[in-house]
Amino acid sequence: MTIDSFLPPHRTLMGPGPSDISPRVLQALSRPTIGHLDPLFIGMMDELKQLLKYAFQTENAFTIAVSAPGSAGMEACFTNLIEPGDKVLVCRNGVFGERMRENVVRAGGVPVVVDDPWGAPVCVEKVAQALEAESDIKLLAFVHAETSTGALSDAKALGALAQKHDVLTIVDAVTSLGGVPLKVDEWQLDAVYSGSQKCLSCVPGLSPLTFSAKAVEKIQSRQTPIRSWFLDQSLVLGYWSGEGKRSYHHTAPVNSLYALHEALLLLKQEGLENAWQRHRDMHEELKSGLEKLGFRFVVEEAHRLPQLNAIYVPEGVDEASIRRQLLEQYNLEIGAGLGDLAGKAWRIGLMGYGARKENIALCLQALQTSLL
Site for a second copy in 52-91 (CB under 8 A): 67-72, 74-75, 79
HSE-CB for 372 with a 13 A CA cutoff: 6
Choose between 44 and 167: whose C-beta lies nearer to a second copy: 44
173 contact partners, CB below 8 Å, separation of at least 6: 56, 144, 145, 155, 182, 192, 193, 194
Closest by CA to 348, choosing from 292, 290, 280, is 290
Among 94, 195, 208, 337, binds a second copy (CB under 8 A): 195
| Distance in Å, CB of 106 to a second copy, minimum | 5
Whole-number Å distance between alpha carbons of 61 and 58: 9
Contact between 133 and a second copy by CB under 8 A: the answer reads no
Closest by CA to 103, choosing from 122, 120, 86, 126, is 86
124 contact partners, CB below 8 Å, separation of at least 6: 154, 157, 158, 161
Whole-number Å distance between alpha carbons of 162 and 141: 10
Site for a second copy in 217-236 (CB under 8 A): 225-231
Contact between 358 and a second copy by CB under 8 A: the answer reads no
Contact between 181 and a second copy by CB under 8 A: the answer reads no
| Distance in Å, CB of 244 to a second copy, minimum | 14
Site for a second copy in 314-333 (CB under 8 A): 327, 333
Contact between 4 and a second copy by CB under 8 A: the answer reads yes
Choose between 107 and 130: whose C-beta lies nearer to a second copy: 107
Choose between 48 and 168: whose C-beta lies nearer to a second copy: 48
Site for a second copy in 232-261 (CB under 8 A): 248-256, 258, 261
- For 97, other C-beta atoms within 10 Å of its C-beta total 25
Choose between 188 and 241: whose C-beta lies nearer to a second copy: 241
Among 165, 214, 246, 268, binds a second copy (CB under 8 A): 268
Site string for a second copy, 274-313 (x = CB under 8 A): ----------------------------------------
Give the binding range for a second copy (CB under 8 A) out of 102-110, 113-121, 310-318, 363-371.
102-110
2 DSSP assignment: -
| Distance in Å, CB of 216 to a second copy, minimum | 20
Whole-number Å distance between alpha carbons of 6 and 176: 32
170 DSSP assignment: E
Query: What is the four-CA torsion angle of 117, 119, 125, 130, rounded to 10 degrees?
Result: 50
